[in-house]
Amino acid sequence: MCRKMMLSVVALLLVAVSAQAIMSPIAKADASGTTIALSTGSPNWSADLTTYANFIGDVHQIGGYSGGSVLGNVEYQDDPTEMNNWGLSGPFVKVGPGTGGSYKGWVLYKFALPVGQTTGVGGMITADAMRTNNYDSSVTWMGVNGSAIAGASTVDLGSGADEAAFTKTNFLAPPPGGPWGSYGMLSLNIPVGVSDFTVAFFEEWSSNERLAYQALDVNAVIVPEPVTIVFLGLGGLSLLRRKK
């Protein structure tokens, strides 16, 4: 009896570990809706992928479509076997058909600045990423958007309008006979003069491409909004007049 109980406990633990290792698919908006706060005192942020809970806690939205169904084609992976298959050495997030589905998917992070502050010149977004199979930058990308986007339930990177708002980057295709995949750093400039922005990893369902990222770093330059500077200047002039 004791032996059976022990085997049952072990089996449950194995199921729990397996569920933690592979989370796919994830329904659209099945994320915390988190908005990550940046400020002059804390302008830098790095994704924590050490556990699934840490990963999903930072994500604003996970989304995707399969035909008319709303689904997500995203997977958090910490299975050493899967890491070795991809040639990676630590936890990562996969976007695209390689997660077990055949539909588009995306991961969306949202960042916001306090009232009276805006992004300045020189801010950067970088990600350690890997891409496999075909090379078509129109369907697989990391992107940044500095324009207003609606809430988590209405963002649709499968639509032309929402997707077109992103500035995108990706690995260049290799020369004929070159490697079947690329691993390295993707980078984008943070839009200047905005009070919030979003960062996304996207893969279109019609492609066999796969995108994975192991690290995401946001290093913003934050300055007072022009209106705030004007008010500060007017305040200074008012004090000078009073002294006179």
84-114 tens-digit pLDDT? 777 788 899 988 755 555 567 889 999 999 9
| 216 inside domain | yes
Residue 67 CB-density burial (10 A; 0-12 exposed, 13-18 middle, 19+ buried)? exposed
More confident residue, 88 or 235: 88
More confident residue, 230 or 45: 45
- For the chain, percent of residues with pLDDT exceeding 90: 33
| 96 inside domain | yes
192-212 tens-digit pLDDT? 999 999 999 988 765 566 788
Distance of CA 74 to the CA centre of its chain: 11
The predicted pLDDT at position 24 comes to 35
Q: What CATH number did the domain enclosing 203 receive?
A: 2.60.120
Lowest-confidence segment of 14-18, 43-47, 90-94, 203-207 by average pLDDT: 14-18
Q: Is the pLDDT of residue 242 over 70?
A: no
More confident residue, 7 or 181: 181
The predicted pLDDT at position 78 comes to 87
SS (H, E, C) the chain: CHHHHHHHHHHHHHHHHHHHHECCCCCCCCCCCCCEECCCCCCEEECCCCCHHHHHHHCCEEEEEECCEECCCEEEECCHHHHHHHCCCCCEEEECHHHCCCCEEEEEEEEECCCCEEECCCCEEEEEEEEECCCCCCCEEEEEECCCCCCCCCCCCCCHHHHHCCEEECCCCCCCCCCCEEEEEEEEECCCCCCEEEEEEEECCCCCCEEEEEEEEEECCEEECHHHHHHHHHHHHHHHHHHC
Domain residue limits at 186: 19-243
* Other beta carbons less than 10 A from residue 80's beta carbon: 12
Domain total of the chain: 1
136-183 tens-digit pLDDT? 666 788 999 997 655 444 567 766 777 888 999 988 766 666 666 678
| 6 inside domain | no
CA angle 49, 53, 58 (to 5 degrees): 65
The predicted pLDDT at position 128 comes to 94
The predicted pLDDT at position 234 comes to 46
The predicted pLDDT at position 22 comes to 34
| 14 inside domain | no
